[in-house]
Amino acid sequence: ADLRDAEMIQFHPTGLGGVSAHQVPLLTEALRGDGALLVTSDDPGSADGLKPLAIPHPLGALGPRDLVARTVYERLKSGYPVWLDARQVLHLNDHFPTACSLARQNGFDPLTELLPVVPVAHYVMGGVRTDLAGRTSVSGLYAVGEAASTGVHGANRLASNSLLECLVFGRACAQAVLDEALRTPADLSPPLTAIPDKRPPNALSQDFRRRIQDVVFGAAGPIREASALEKGLAELTVLERQWTGAKQTASSSGKFQQDFAGFRSFLETENLFLVAQTVLTAALKNKASHGAHYRCDAVS
């Protein structure tokens, strides 16, 4: 199927830092709307001399998500910490129970402590190119939701617009699928692709998944440039070669498994290599900055 805008990945500026998991919890932007501040320090090792994070926009920390995320990213890359200070937010526990719970689950008390933040990949504007009913370039294949590229988000989605997209396009897609199914004889349905009976152990797939994520974020994070993208693609080639070897070793040593978790993890890791290479290639080819795709070496 045809893809579109694979490089258009939106980053959330306030993932909770200091978390070891690769799925970082988000601290809602509504916290800043209610008075929480993004702060930093010129002392890399402490919170002494706190000051507001300087964001080049009239609205400061309430500015566009991509700009805030890039500012946080640049500050962290320079070796200085960034925190969300929510201590002055009124009725914090009552108004933001989820954020408070996430912070406490990860060892932070938002009522008395600064919350370290990091930008995290949040939403993909690109995907499988579709029409208004979710049809793709492949007959009989439909896509809807974040997997689809409908074009309604442009290069920078507005918060929560994806929910409206799902309501509108989800209904249209369901109706189109139903109409096609009623017109398609059962004997014309494509056969299911055979899947392997056994897969590598789940831990192996998860390890490679984390390594792919690290490469992609390092190369195609909030700020991108050609040299980093080219390096990332080269690293993915090496990593994919290692993955092939690891699968062969696991198979010959009798460590392949049949559990569902291993099956799902195996498929996701296999697909993730292709997705990662597609994202980095698209980001490399798009030499201009547009919305969430920011090239520091952009051609003006």
Catalytic residue numbers read 65
E strands in 57-162: 82-85, 115-124, 127-129, 148-149
- 129, 135, 258: which is closest to 200 by C-alpha? 258
DSSP assignment of 136-173: -SSTT-B--GGGEE-STTTTSPPTTHHHHHHHHHHHHH
78 CB neighbour count, 10 Å cutoff:
9
DSSP state of 194: P
Q: Give the max Cα distance, the chain.
A: 72
Helices (H), 157-259: 161-183, 202-220, 226-252
Q: Rounded to 5 degrees, what angle do the CA atoms 42, 221, 170 make?
A: 130
Cα 172 to Cα 140, 148, 157, distances in angstroms: 15, 13, 21
235 CB neighbour count, 10 Å cutoff:
19
Q: Rounded to 5 degrees, what angle do the CA atoms 236, 10, 157 make?
A: 145
As beta bridge partners, residue 169 has none
CA 118 distance to own-chain centroid: 13
Q: Is 208 in contact with 239 (CB distance < 8 Å)? A: yes
Return the residue matching tokens 């933040």: 117
Spatial distance between the Cα atoms of 13 and 28, rounded to a whole number of angstroms: 9
